[in-house]
Amino acid sequence: MTAARQRVIAALTVDFGLDATGKRIRPPRARYSCVLCQQLEGPVYGAELVAEFVAFIRTEHPAKCTARSSA
Ligand SMILES: [Zn+2]
């Protein structure tokens, strides 16, 4: 495996709320942490909101990120 040269600019964290056996023990949640502007988006809770958040935050946040140039 060849390691790609990449720079970490954000972390998307999703907690599915499952225990080791796969049983749901709490509602799923997600948050997004931008390394560039230090802003934390979320957390959001619940399957529907988490799915929506995960689908859009990686394009939504960069569009409004205060630390990025308009590239
Ligand atoms: Zn940002």
**What does each of the 71 residues of the chain score in pLDDT, given as a tens digit?**
566 787 888 999 999 999 999 999 999 999 999 999 999 999 999 999 999 999 999 999 999 999 986 54
Burial (CB count <10 Å: 0-12, 13-18, 19+), residue 66: exposed
CA distances for 12 relative to 2, 6, 63, angstroms = 23, 16, 16
Q: What's the pLDDT score for residue 6?
A: 78
Residues with CB under 5 A from ligand 1 (ion): 34, 36-37, 65
Q: Under DSSP, is residue 52 helix (H, G, I), strand (E, B) or coil?
A: helix
Q: What's the pLDDT score for residue 10?
A: 92
Q: How far is CA 54 from the centre of its chain?
A: 6
Q: Give residue 14 CA to ligand 1 midpoint distance, Å.
A: 18
Q: Under DSSP, is residue 21 helix (H, G, I), strand (E, B) or coil?
A: coil
Q: Give residue 45 CA to ligand 1 midpoint distance, Å.
A: 21
